[in-house]
Structure 1
C-alpha cells in the first residue's frame, strides 16, 4: 500500500479553518463547554499547521509503516518536536516558549477529552490568547497567510475582555476526586512554566494577557499558577499578585537575563539608564516596581523581553541622546558667575580686608594680615 498523498495547501486551509472556528466558538456570547471545544480546535489547528511546515521543509509527516497496519501521521506532540528540533519557527518567536505554549494546550486537550478538566477558564485563557498570536506569526512566516485577513479584529483574539488580573487564587481545601484531577493538571502546568523559565524561554510567548490594543499586559509566571481549587472544581477567587513574583529582578539581574538572550553587544547599566530616560520605563508598572519606602526598582519578565527585542543601533542612539541631555542639564544647573559689588575682595598674597580672615593666593603661602 503506497503512502497517501498529502496536500500542503489543504493542510494550511484546514488549519486556518480550525483556528477560525476556535475563535468563533470562544467569542459566542453564550456557550457551554467553551474552553474544552476551543482547545480541541486550537490544538487541531496547530497539528495541521505543523505538518504543513514539516512537509514544506521536506520532512516526513508519517511514522514508519508497520506491517499489516495503515500509515499513521505524526501526533501533534511529535510534529511539534520535529519542528522544534529543525528550528522551523519564525526567527522573531521564541521557539521554546511557543513549544511550551502548545504543550500546555495539548495536555489540557488530553484531559478534557478523556476525563474532566474542571473550571479552568481563568487559567487557560492567557495560553489560548498567546497561542493565537504565535499561530498567526507561524502561518504568515511560512505561508504568507495572515489570520487577521479573516477576522473582525475588534473582537480580539479569543475575547473582547480579558479575565481579571494576574491569575493567582486563594487557597481552599480540595476534597473531591474531580478536584484532585484539576490540582494534578495545575501541578503539571506549573512544572511546564518553571521548565520554560529555566530554559530561558520568553514567557510572553508562552502565556500573556493583552489589552484591546494587543499590547502585552503581563506574562504569566509559575507564581501566578499557585492554585488550590474549591470543592467539586468550583470557580476560584482571584487575588492580587505579589510584585515579588511579578517583578523579581534587580537591575543587575535584569541585565544578566537580557544579555543571555539578546543578539548584539552586551548591555550595561548606562544602556539601561538611557532607556529608562527615553521610554519612562520606571513609570511603566508592567516593567518596573518600587516600594513606596524603597530606593531601587525591581523589574519584570516583560522588561526582559522588551530589552531583548531592541537592537544595538537603537541603544546607541538612545545613549547619545541621553548623554546630550545630561550635558544640557549640567549647563542649565551651573549659572554664569556675576561679580557682587558687596562681595569681599581677596588680595593676592594678602588678607581679606573686609573680614580680616587670612587668605591664600594661588601658588603662594598664607597671606599676612
Structure 2
C-alpha cells in the first residue's frame, strides 16, 4: 500500500509534469501563467509530502490550526482544525511548509530555493494581469521556471530518492518552441514592470553557484543523460542467516526519512531536557548499530565513490522516550 507521503509526492510530480507539458506546447496562449500556477502547486505538494514523511505519515501534521473565542470572548487555549467554507480542513501553505521544514524539522534547504519560489509565486500571483507578449517577461519566466525545475529535481532525489530524468523533466528554451528572435512590440504594463523589477531585485541579492544543485534562475542547456539502472541493495539484519531483502531507493527513503539534522530537530521539539551532549551521543551511537533504527547508505547510490551518510527510522524515538522527558 502506498504511503501518504508517497501519494502526495506522486500528485506533486503529476502537477509538475502538467506544468511542463503546457509550457512545451508549440502553441499555447496562456503558457507562462498556467505554467507558474501548476508549478507552484507542485512545489507546495512536494513540501507537504516531505513533512508527512518526517511525521511518520501523519496527514494531520500539515493541517492548519486556530484558536477560537470562548463564551467570555477570550481565545481558547485549545487548538482547533481550521476549515474552509465547505467544512474541509485547511492545510498549511507553500511558505509555511518551507519554514516548518527549516525551523521545526531541521531540513537544510539552500536559500536560493526560497528566492526562486518567491519569484515563481510573484509570477503566479500577477499572472491574471499579464498579456505576456513582451519577450523580456517570457524570457524571465523561462529562466525562473528552469531553475525551479532543477531545484525540484534535486530535492526530490534527496528526500524521496526519485530520478526525474525518466520524465524529461525540463522546459524547452524559447527558440525551440517559437521564434525567439522576433516579438510583438507591446510595452510592459505597470504590473509586468513591477514583477520584473521584483525578480531583478531577488537576482541582485542572490549569489549563484554553478557547482550547486540549486539556483534562483538558470540559463538552459541541453545534454544527453543515460538513465541509471543501478539500485542500492541492503540487508535489514545483522544475522547472516536472515533472508536478504532488496529495497529500492524509494523504499529506503520511506523507511529511513530522517538525517542527523532532522533527528536532532525532532528531539529538541519533543523533550524539555534534551541537549546534544555526551549523554545524547552515547544513546544515539548505541542505537545506530540496530538496523531497525538506522541505516548507512551512499548519498548518491549510482556512484560507488559517493560519501556515506546515516539515515534514521522515526521508531528510534521510542528509545529516546526512555531517557528524556516529553513536553506537555
> TM-score when scaled to structure 2?
0.51
Q: Tell me, what secondary structure is at the counterpart of 2:66? A: coil
Aligned to 1:79: 97
- Decide whether aligned partners of structure 1 residues 116 and 147 sit closer, same or farther in structure 2, where only a CA change above 3 A counts: same
1:11-46 per-residue CA deviation (whole Å, 9 max, x = no partner) reads 111001001111111111111111111111111100
- Distance change in 2, residues 1:38/1:9 (3 Å): same
CA separation of 1:66 and 1:23: change in aligned 2, threshold 3 A: same
Which of 123, 130, 137 matches 1:116? 130
Q: Flag structure 2 segments of 5+ consecutive residues without an equivalent.
A: 69-79, 84-88, 226-328
How far off its partner does 1:112 sit? Answer: 0.9
Match of 1:209 in 2: 219
Higher relative contact order (CA 8 A, sep 6+): 2
Match status 1:159 vs 2:179: no
Correspondence 1:247-286 to 2 at 5 A: none
Distance (Å, rounded) in 2 between the aligned partners of 1:144 and 1:117: 39
Out of 137, 143, 147, the residue aligned to residue 126 of structure 1 is 143
Does residue 141 in structure 1 map to residue 195 in structure 2? no
Which of 105, 108, 115 is 2:120 aligned to?
105
Which SS does the other structure have where 1:191 is aligned?
Answer: helix
Q: Where do 1:235-254 residues align within 5 Å?
A: none
Q: How far off is 1:182 after superposition?
A: 1.1
Distance in 2 between the 1:146 and 1:194 partners? Answer: 32
Q: Which residue of 1 aligns with 2:107?
A: 88
- In terms of Rg, which structure is larger? 1
Post-superposition offset of 1:117: 6.4
Q: For the aligned residues, what is the CA RMSD?
A: 3.4
Structure 1 residue 161: deviation in Å? 5.5
The separation in 1 between residues aligned to 2:38 and 2:202, in whole angstroms, is: 21
Deviation at 1:203, TM superposition (A): 10
Report if aligned partners of 2:157, 2:163 keep a CA contact under 8 Å in 1.
yes
The TM-score, its normalising length taken from structure 1, stands at 0.46
Contact residue 117 and residue 181 of structure 1 kept, 8 A:
no
Q: Aligned match of 1:52 in 36, 49, 52? A: 49
Number of equivalenced pairs:
191
Q: 1:25 to 1:136 in 2, by over 3 A?
A: same
1:61 and 2:76 correspond: no
Contact 1:19 1:42 in 2 (8 A): yes
Q: Does 1:36 align with 2:53?
A: no
Q: CA deviation at 1:204?
A: 6.3
Deviations 1:258-307 (CA, angstroms, capped at 9, x unpaired): xxxxxxxxxxxxxxxxxxxxxxxxxxxxxxxxxxxxxxxxxxxxxxxxxx
Equivalents in 2 of 1:45, 1:101: separation in Å?
Answer: 14
Cα separation, 2, equivalents of 1:117 and 1:133: 27
Residue pair 2:48, 2:97 contacting (<8 A) in 1 also: yes
Output the CA distance in 2 between the equivalents of 1:42 and 1:204.
Answer: 16
Q: CA deviation at 1:140?
A: 1.4
Task: Give the CA deviation at 1:193.
Answer: 1.7
1:56 aligned counterpart, secondary structure: helix
Report the Cα distance in structure 2 between the residues aligned to 1:66 and 1:147, rounded to whole angstroms. Answer: 41
* 8 Å contact kept, 2:173–2:220: no
* 1:57 to partner: Cα distance: 2.1
